[in-house]
Structure 1
Amino acid sequence: MIGYLLYLTASRPDIIFSVCRCARFQAAPKESHLTVVKRIIRYLIGTISHRLWYPRLNNFNLEGFSDADLADDKDDRKSTSGTCQLLSKSLISWNSKKQGSIALSTTETEYIAIGQCCAQLLWMNHQLSDYDLSFKPVKIFCDNFSAICLSIILCIILEQSI
């Protein structure tokens, strides 16, 4: 069932966090995990009319959003990042991923999520340049002021060192 749900996340970004969370327990599933999977399926049945919409637009802009939580996994204290990327206000890429390192603060967790979002946006910008579409600057939105300040300060330091 998890494989089926993971396949659906390609067109249903609203379930990606829950499905990825359930996928972590595939090696040793319990009855409670099956209950959560059934709840996700019931949600999908109730929201079958939800879909992605891509209107025809002439102006293009590329932007990303990132978010993270601190020590979401109680077993190993690792955080989860989520990012989404939009082209002209239409969602074209999204992910939810457990971070590889243990963050000591919310700022660090959010900064890692910004980095993941930035990497995806850089790749997308490079791919879209093949179609003569260039996006400068690309906006990244984050809800943590300290992580934003850290990003800006590091960019200033990098510019001064070049």
Structure 2
Amino acid sequence: MELIFGEKKVVKSYDNEGAMQTVKTMMRRGEQLIVRFYTNRENYPCAWIESKKIQGFCLILNQKGLTWLHTYLQTGEMEDFGFNPNEFVTYAEDKDFQLSVLKQLIDNDEKRLQFAPLFREKSEYVSGYASYMKGKIFFRVPGTTELVDDLKERELIA
């Protein structure tokens, strides 16, 4: 018995608009968001968003989307700044989106950052979070010498 299978390629596109609508619903309810940043397989900058009521999901970002999320976390304001969830571009290949966000937080929001003490870290990573009125941004980035020295110089870690 021989079966012949045709080759059918199913290409599914991610429903980023649905993800944005879910975030808007969470915001309207005033939920505390837990956010982690990363770059997906297609090299798009993303936020992994969850709350106590909603399991985590991906939202692909661009600059307007990043501004929208950060503004909500800081102030509770839900204005989306014209963020089009279907307009996104890949992130620079040699860049780490999570690290770039952390560096911006370090430059702008030092008082909000808390880091795990280095002696507790069993690996080569720096972990911590930034706490805001409407949620937290968590991160775990490679603890390069340059980053660790910068954090020590700013007295953010010991």
Structure in which a larger fraction of residues adopt strand: 2
Structures share a fold, TM > 0.5?
A: no
TM-score (norm 2): 0.33
